[in-house]
A and B are shown apart, each in its own frame.
Chain A
Amino acid sequence: MLLDAGSLLVWLVALPLVGALALVVLTATSMELGRRYALTTALAAALLTFGLSLRLIARHADPALVVNAPWIPTLGVNWHLAADGLSLWLILLTTLLTPLAMLASAAIVTRRPAYFLLLLLFESGLVGVFLARDLVTFYVFWEVVLIPAYFLIGMWGGENRRAAVTKFFLYTVAGSLLMLAAIIGLYVGHGAATGRYTFDVETLVAARNVIPAETRQWCFWGFAAAFFVKIPLFPLHTWQADTYAEAPTPVAALLSGAMSKMGTYALVRFGVGLFPDIAREWATLMLTLAVVSILHGALAALAQTDLKRLLAYSSLSHLGFVTLGVFSFTTYGVEGAMFHMAAHGVTTAALFLLVAMLEARRKTTALADFGGLAGAMPRFAFLMVVASLASAGVPLTNGFIGEFLTLLGAFTVAPGFAVAAAGGMILSAVYLLTAARRTLFGCSASLFEAPDMDWRETLAVAPLVALMLVMGVAPQLFLRPTRPAVPPEAVAVSRS
């Protein structure tokens, strides 16, 4: 019982939690032991996920990978977790990025045990979000992610962290409470119509037509508010740059690499899954917002003088492609969106981790303070260039596949939007390569002596860079398991 397929999922959520609890006990004895222990736990979770994903890839869909037990029977809340092709890459991404971020956190010196404990909590919450199939379970995990994020940014962040974290907190909470209202609205609407009160997503998807249209309309916007804040999508993005810039850089890697995927993932699974008709009705507006996000993010990134802010705006721009793909309602678009989520997670996390290494050496992330690093740090320069190219969407890298597919999807239904979005792709090449050029090459080589990456730092980034290339060269490997899991509601125009 303890080791059947379903309980694997529970373990996946519980392992970091148990680790965090044990950390509390352990740190009383030794600080250093705590850090190693946290890393071990995170690696164990990564291995577990890896094993899980092998199983899932082999079978496409695994009906055994489900756990569904009553949680609050009075309300019809179930503890319902399941893994499929949609969640697969995202839980892999989360469990992969967490240990890497831990490795790259050498610069964190104060209150280290608490830091690692919060990272583990963060991981547990994220995995829970990607596995939950009951709206209350989902909501609980969704909010739980916020608490460690709040403290990670607030306690170890930069100068203006307090203002940034308050903004982040209020934006997110406002969005998610509206989602809560919408969840209850759906629950009541479904219960009133069928007499069966449940929060189960599959039931609600199947029976969505019995709920009154008006209820569904405002429920959709409740969900959308929460997701659009989290992604973020223009005009709800104003918290993002401040938060990413003020967060400790390894945490920023997790925020942009994994946490932002909560929004895009939920948009596909819940936003479109529960309200396909309404989503389609508003598709033009959504496509517009996506394109505005892409262009606004790219243009703002061009104007940044700080590496972290630049990456933050680049994140806004790239996640716009995901939204674009989702709201194209085509097979290419949605598959591309799913692929791009994972691709963007890998690439942006790698970039943030690289920036973290610069920050550890020079205590700054301003572009003007760097230059000519290629001479002093060749290994760093190589990884940085590859990651920048991948982020800019150069062929043979993962960024290309994701953006190409979403654009292809968008082009079949709305060519104008696709063309505008392609402009964003070009801009991204400009700002990323400019940034890479200004840090790595250029004049002030002699001014700046720094040790190259040590083995621990290399270990933190090299797997990600390798993944970028693998994903770029063999995308089918990643697209195939996702395909059967794409909700049929999300695809109006299938591959002809």
Chain B
Amino acid sequence: MLPLLVELPPLPTLRDTAFIMPEIILTLFAGAALVLDVALPRSKKHLTAYFSLIGLAFVAIALAQQVAMTASLLPISAFYGMLFIDGLSVVFRFVFIVAAAFSILYSIKYLEFEREQRGEYYALILFSTLGMMFVATSGDLIALFVSFELMSLSVYVLVGYFKRDKRSNEAAMKYFLTGIFSSALMLYGLSLVYGVTGHTNLGLISETIAGYVQGGTAESGDPRLLLMVALVLVAAGLLFKIAAVPFHMWAPDAYEGAPTTVTAFMSVGPKAGAYVLLARMLLFALAPMREMENLPGWAALLAVVAVLTMTVGNLAAVTQDNVKRLLAYSSIAHAGYILLGIVSGTDMGYQGVAFHIMTYTLMNTGVFAIIIALHRQGVIGENLNDLNGLFSRAPSAAVLMLIFILGLAGIPSTAGFVGKFFLFGSLIQSGKPWLTYIAIIAVLNAVVAFYYYARFARAMFLNAPSENIADASPLLLAPSVRITLTLSAIAVLFFGIYPQPLINVADIVAQSITTVYAQSSGIALR
């Protein structure tokens, strides 16, 4: 018999509410964006975007204030353990806000051009961001799952946002069907976790499982097998979201079919959200199952997935000519690299994961922003050939794109290099021979990746402009976009040359993973 919830706890207090202030503000703005859309005339609809950006600024301020006031109290648990705020939640909520703000900023002109300027679009992005922020702050399976669905559901709609575009419809349908299927798998896995442990609180789950794994199983059989099944189901659902092999099939189609701005958003925001959920499940709740006696732990399973993911992603990217598909495969490959950091299980690996996700957000949105800008001019589509001679047509756009591409490729003196350095280095640092071999596979993968990233440089700088470009007018970026892109590019270079500040931020994440796990009751009920 499990203990009953005999005496009911009192209602959550104002103290609890104070901890979700940023999220409350975000919800208000998202709702207000919907209303504002109705109130605005057709020609003024783009104001919703600026309204949403202002909203995100407020959220960031509220979050900063929360950090300033509670930094010494972390980790905090509120709402009966439903809410759990640690360093990881703080850092990643900022990442989500930045990802959402960039996506909104890059969308304004694009939607104008496509004549799809509507308030729902921005509201959906805000709602999705809300979901991500709660993913980062949930300490309980139920809250985690609901916020995760909040995040995903918005993206399903966003992918199919262009109703008249057949590709967009098809992509949305594929993404939706496979997405809910994977959610169902994950939910089944979560229910098994609850069934075995009797808890939905991540900390309590972790404690209970630690007891089972250490062999306290005599009176109740061996629940580890059932936990393994649960683990595989949960992992399958999550790996689907980050498009890890063999659950990656949807990604190229969804990336290609979705409106490019949505592709940009989903490649950084919800993806980072899925990484956070993966970290919460594997590094907090199921942490004791990393390695088990007589049974494969998740470290081994995840290592296989990581190797497959980066290899398949990189090899498939080589043959792509569509930029969006190519970037889809590149993001699959990057998912593989990031999984390596989780597999390594060292401080360095976790730092690498956080660092890489942060810089990847900058670089990937940057690349997409330029593709979006190209499209907006009606000059250039989504084919790699369309980038031909970009340098002579739009030098600043080409140079910015080059910096982001070099970052994605991981060339030294860009932030992408530092991330990869940490991720690959952590494998070798772990001191396990089999992880060292994986590091070598990863390095070889990076060579393959250099090849297809070099194709961008080649198209933009070495090839002559294509003949079939009708409009030869110079390509102009909107001032706000230009400034944002320049700042991102400078950040990519700056954190490549002097990464210490960002490493310190990444270290907050790493510390919250290692210390909270060390005293796993940290997430327990208040």
Contact = CB atoms under 8 A, between A and B. Distances in A.
Contact flag (A, B; Cβ within 8 A): yes
A144 B462 contact: no
A492 interface: no
A188 B428 contact: yes
A154 B424 contact: no
A74 B462 contact: no
B439 A144 contact: no
B454 A169 contact: yes
A60 interface: no
B192 interface: no
Contact of A181 (B351, B392, B439, B458): B439
A173 B447 contact: yes
Given A155-B461, A177-B443, A184-B424, A140 B450 contact: no
Contacts of B391: 155
A150 B409 CA distance: 15
B413 A143 contact: yes
A185 B412 contact: no
Interface string A128-171: 00000000100110111011001100110000011001100110
A243 to B, nearest CB: 14
B345 interface: no
A299 to B, nearest CB: 31
Contacts of A174: 444, 447
A353 to B, nearest CB: 24
Nearest to A125: B413
B458 A162 contact: yes
Interface in A42-88: 71-75
Interface string B425-464: 1001101000010011001101100110010011001110
Interface size class of A (residues with CB under 8 A): 35 or more
B500 interface: yes
A72 B503 contact: yes
A147 B450 contact: no
Contacts of A166: 451, 454, 458
B443 A169 contact: no
A184 B428 contact: yes
B381 interface: no
A139 B412 contact: yes
A188 B439 CA distance: 13
Contacts of A140: 412-413, 417
Contacts of A75: 348, 425
B426 to A, nearest CB: 9
Given A74-B507, A178-B443, A180-B443, A154 B428 contact: no
A144 B413 contact: yes
B31 to A, nearest CB: 42
B406 interface: yes
Contacts of A22: none
B443 A72 contact: no
A327 to B, nearest CB: 26
B450 A154 contact: no
A180 B410 CA distance: 12
B500 A170 contact: no
B458 A154 contact: yes
A426 interface: no
B499 interface: yes
Nearest to A166: B454
Contact of A74 (B392, B439, B463, B500): B500
A184 B462 contact: no
A192 interface: yes
B379 to A, nearest CB: 21
10 contacts: A71-B500, A74-B503, A136-B421, A143-B413, A144-B413, A154-B458, A184-B428, A185-B428, A188-B429, A192-B431
Given A150-B457, A169-B454, A184-B439, 13 more contacts: A71-B500, A140-B417, A142-B412, A150-B454, A154-B458, A162-B462, A174-B447, A184-B421, A184-B425, A184-B429, A185-B436, A191-B429, A192-B431
